[in-house]
């Protein structure tokens, strides 16, 4: 079985143990559908918020053992209800994801890194914690490392996607970082490449890279095939940062991406990751 990725997170590939694939797929479809409600199509902001509120009501319904509305029942909430019952997923983690999607509709600027990290705590970290829950891993060190990896992946996605977020009116680079480089949100909205912008991107990428390296030892705490998949996720994120560095941090001018040519190098790095 192989399905798409939600942002940069693994969801259900052949590396996932077969008994967990339905659960991982159900979490994926829950998050993917909510993300589409927040981002896809031409609906107004108020309509998107109303749809997310209805979506949240369906989540609460299945958590209480009640039937969801028909709108997303077959694809999302009926499979998720079975997973909630079987695996006792922490409901607050699913609600955190919805909080983040709603925030994207209301908030497009971040004052400082602490504010952005709080967003990542709800937009990215729940995915890692939900996956760890499925594997029965709940020790504090593993959870902290998972949060660092997931936050790093979210930040890498931001620094990769300036050319997408700018036209959509979103600025994820903290304003304190912008000010330190004599830049404004308008510079990022216009995707204005400059020496100052490249210095900003370099600093932001270094922040994401530190977080990834701090969280990376988690790959050796995760048993079996899941640990190998996590190695691939970590190495993929680091490779995107290398791509940004190779283009001299000009990601406001063009979007870096991985290609099939990166596969042999990533495979080698996955195989040779060492314990700290």
Which sequence spans correspond to the domains of the chain? 1-106, 108-276
Query: Which of 1, 36, 5 shows the shortest CA–CA distance to 240?
Result: 5
- Contact yes or no for 132/145 (Cβ under 8 A): no
pLDDT (tens digit per residue) in 160-185: 999 999 998 999 999 999 999 999 99
* DSSP 8-class letter at 9: B
pLDDT (tens digit per residue) in 71-103: 999 999 999 999 999 999 999 999 999 999 999
CA distance linking residue 79 with residue 109, whole number of Å:
35
Domain 108-276 fold: Farnesyl Diphosphate Synthase (1.10.600)
The single residue listed with the structure tokens 């908030």 is: 107
Tokens of 119: 């967003």
Mean pLDDT by 10 residues, the chain (276 residues): 40 65 92 92 93 98 97 97 96 97 95 98 95 93 96 96 93 98 97 97 98 95 84 94 98 94 93 82
- What secondary structure does DSSP assign to 29-68, as a single string? HHHHHHHHHHHSSS--HHHHHHHHHHHHHHHHHHHTT-PP
Q: How far is CA 221 from CA 125, 135, 229, 230, in A?
A: 17, 11, 13, 10
């Amino acid at each position: 079985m192989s399905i798409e990725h939600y942002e940069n997170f693994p969801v259900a590939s052949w590396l996932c143990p077969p008994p967990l694939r339905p659960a991982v797929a159900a979490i994926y479809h829950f998050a993917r559908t909510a993300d589409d409600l927040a981002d896809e199509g031409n609906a107004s902001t108020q309509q998107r918020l109303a749809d997310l509120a209805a979506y949240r009501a369906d989540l609460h319904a299945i958590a209480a053992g009640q039937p969801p509305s028909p709108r997303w029942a077959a694809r999302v909430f009926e499979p998720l209800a079975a997973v909630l019952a079987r695996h006792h997923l922490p409901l607050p983690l699913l609600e955190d994801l919805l909080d983040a999607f709603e925030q994207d509709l209301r908030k497009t600027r971040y004052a400082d890194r602490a504010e952005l990290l709080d967003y990542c705590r709800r937009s990215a970290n729940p995915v890692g914690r939900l996956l760890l829950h499925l594997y029965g891993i709940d020790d504090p060190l593993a959870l902290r490392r998972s949060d660092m990896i997931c936050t790093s992946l979210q930040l890498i996605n931001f620094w990769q996607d300036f050319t997408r977020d700018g036209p959509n009116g979103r600025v994820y680079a903290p304003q304190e970082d912008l000010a330190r480089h004599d830049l404004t949100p308008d510079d990022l909205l216009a995707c204005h490449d400059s020496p100052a912008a490249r210095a900003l991107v370099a600093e932001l990428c270094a922040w994401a890279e530190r977080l990834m390296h701090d969280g990376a030892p988690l790959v050796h705490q995760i048993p079996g095939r899941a640990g190998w998949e996590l190695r691939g996720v970590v190495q993929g994120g680091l490779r995107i940062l290398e791509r940004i560095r190779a283009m001299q941090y000009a990601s406001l001018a063009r979007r870096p991406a991985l290609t099939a040519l990166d596969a042999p190098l990533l495979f080698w790095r996955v195989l040779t990751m060492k314990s700290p």
